[in-house]
Amino acid sequence: MTKISQTFLGKKCPPQIWKWGRILLQSSQRRRLIRERQIQKSQDTLIQEQFNAEGANLVVYIVDGADWHTGREKISGGLLAIASYYEETKKLPEMSSYQVIMVILDSCPLILRHNEFDNTITVFRFSQVFSYFKHLRHLIIHVPELLVTEMPAEFRAVGRERLATIENLHINVMNQNIQKMPGPEAVAALKRFTRNVTMTTAHSRYCTPEMAQRYGVTTHHFSNFCGPELYRRRTYAEKSNLLVASNDEHPMKDAILGKIQAKLPNLRIQIIRNMTYNQAKAANEQAKWGVTFGEGMDLYFLEAVFSGGIGFAVYNDEFFPPDCKGLPTVFDSYEQMLRELPAMLEKLDNPAAFNECHQTMFDLLKTHNRYDEYLQRLQAFYRCKYDIPLK
């Protein structure tokens, strides 16, 4: 279903109009308004405490807002990645003259801080970037693919005169999931506000010259912030008889988990939902097995392996490096997973077989997920040393 904000009328209305429309029509939004008043007061105070208003150079990382109805934050691998980008950008020597801020679009429900994972990041409003920092000369804005279509309205609310005062405006689209990336026309719309538009990718499979040409922008691979050095790698003997499954929706998910439970009644199955990130990491440390029903090469899969367990997924060309297709626990289809996974769990549930399978997966996945390489790629972006510069 098309969002109202993406219709012809929606594109002509400022974000605040739609925000107030929701508040007037929905009781849950009126309650949110009261909650957000306090958040705005805190944001207005904290931005003065944490940032120099006279600063000329700024990096902005945009994240999605809270859930419209519950007001709760929406935890995701994409959010965790952006939080990592934020923290590591501040440490780069070449960015010492830049301040780094995390914001939510003014059209989204506000959050002051994310409480579902360990961090000390205050989250501000997008409009504060332009109202508080009066002397910006160099501005880099990172926007996730899910919010790209919202940006033209946000920029119109800022005003072209204000944007024109910024000497170098750079918009970078964080393409974290190619399946959720909008079409080239959405990226082209950003070029109306600046010629300096780039795209970064979370998976190497879609950091290609073809992708750069399709979207008409310089493209760079950010790599994965998930590396084995970030996890405690438990042994088979330390593991519990536990299988954790991703919270993704899939039409065959219930059938697969049900068949596993029927064949292995003593196996405990836990879906990662309504948990903080630390709780999810703790579950991965305890679990022998992890199954993802999402994109495949995701945190559910990687963290299972880097925590000492065995991960299961279905291969797809959009996210997995080609050499991962040969992994023993990466299936060709969900139908194959349904047929073979229960028996595979039974077969692998002994120290020798488990350790051999785990080590094979660990050795391969760590070559694609090195934290030092991730930091090098982040640094290369800020040095303008892009993988695929568009001529």
Is the full-model pTM beyond 0.85?
yes
> In the 8-state DSSP scheme, what is residue 129?
H
**What is the mean predicted confidence (pLDDT) over 72-101?**
93
- CATH class of the domain at 15-221: alpha beta
Domains of the chain by residue range: 15-221, 228-368
Distance from first CA to last CA of the chain, Å, rounded?
37
Supply the pLDDT for residue 1: 44
3-state SS record for 320-380: CCHHHHHCCCEECCHHHHHHHHHHHHHHHCCHHHHHHHHHHHHHHHHHHCCHHHHHHHHHH
Output 7 or 108, whichever has higher pLDDT.
108
Digit-coded pLDDT (tens) for 11-47: 566 666 665 666 565 666 666 777 888 999 999 999 9
Digit-coded pLDDT (tens) for 260-280: 999 999 999 999 998 999 999
**What is the mean predicted confidence (pLDDT) over 93-121?**
94
Specify the range with the lowest mean pLDDT, choosing from 67-71, 199-203, 258-262, 303-307.
67-71
**228-368 has the same fold as 15-221:** yes
What lies within 8 Å, CB to CB, of 80 at 6+ separation is 117, 225, 277, 299
pLDDT confidence bin for 72, thresholds 50/70/90: confident
Contacts 24+ apart (CB under 8 A), 182-191: 182/145, 182/148, 182/149, 184/214, 184/215, 184/216, 186/148, 186/149, 187/148, 187/215, 187/216, 187/217, 188/216, 189/149, 189/151, 189/152, 190/148, 190/151, 190/152
The label of the residue with tokens 């944001």 reads: 43
Supply the pLDDT for residue 189: 97
Joined together, the tokens standing for residue 337 give: 């997973």
Phi, psi of 86 (to 5 degrees): -55, -50
Q: In what order do the strands lie in the sheet with 240-245?
A: 268-271, 240-245, 287-291, 310-314, 330-331
Pick the CATH number of 228-368 from 1.10.150.120, 3.40.50.1980, 3.40.50.2000, 3.40.50.300: 3.40.50.2000
Closest among 186, 263, 248, 166 to 11, alpha carbons compared: 186
| Mean pLDDT over the full length of the chain | 92
- Is the model's pLDDT at 237 over the cut of 80? yes
Residue 99's Cβ-count burial label (10 Å; 0-12, 13-18, 19+) is middle
